[in-house]
């Protein structure tokens, strides 16, 4: 079956612009996670969605970052007024249910470069 897909695969933007990154989870997966992978910080959790529950936003680095998940499926991560330190690979993952034991399936990521 289809895995987690993300778009675009690459995004180059100018400092100060807004960007939107999209994630399509595996069909039927109720839990969705966003992570960021950067040279200086490694792999960091950003935000988590599970069904209709309030998202866990504890990993978002600033209020310029926001995310939504429409209809319990597709998710969009928005970064406003991008800064050079936002340059990273943004990874999306989904799993069948929340829980600390669930295997998360990762997408290929979106490489964001802020000039």
Partner 1 sequence: AQKVTQAQTEISVVEKEDVTLDCVYETRDTTYYLFWYKQPPSGELVFLIRRNSFDEQNEISGRYSWNFQKSTSSFNFTITASQVVDSAVYFCALSGTHGSSNTGKLIFGQGTTLQVKP
- List contacts with partner 1 (CB under 8 A): 31, 33, 35, 42-45, 48, 50, 56, 59, 89, 91, 93, 95, 98-109
Q: Could you tell me which of 92, 101, 107 has the C-alpha nearest to residue 33?
A: 92
Residue 45 vs 80, nearer CB to partner 1: 45
DSSP label at residue 20: E
- Which of 37, 82, 33 is closest to 58 using CA atoms? 33
Query: Minimum CB separation from partner 1 for residue 24, in Å?
Result: 14
Closest CB to partner 1 among residues 20, 44: 44
Q: Which of 43, 35, 67, 65 is nearest to 54 (CA)?
A: 67
| Least CB distance to partner 1 at residue 105 (A) | 7
């Amino acid at each position: 079956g289809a895995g987690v897909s993300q778009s675009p695969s690459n995004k180059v933007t100018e400092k100060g612009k807004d960007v939107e990154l999209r994630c399509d989870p595996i069909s039927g997966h109720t839990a969705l996670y966003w992570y960021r992978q950067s040279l200086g910080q490694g792999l960091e959790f950003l935000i988590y969605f599970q069904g209709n529950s309030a998202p866990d936003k504890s990993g978002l680095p600033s209020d310029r970052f926001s995310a939504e998940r429409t209809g319990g499926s597709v998710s969009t991560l928005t970064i406003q007024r991008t800064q050079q330190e936002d340059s990273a690979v943004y990874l999306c993952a989904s799993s069948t249910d929340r829980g600390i034991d669930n295997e998360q399936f990762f997408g290929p990521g979106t490489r964001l470069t802020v000039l």
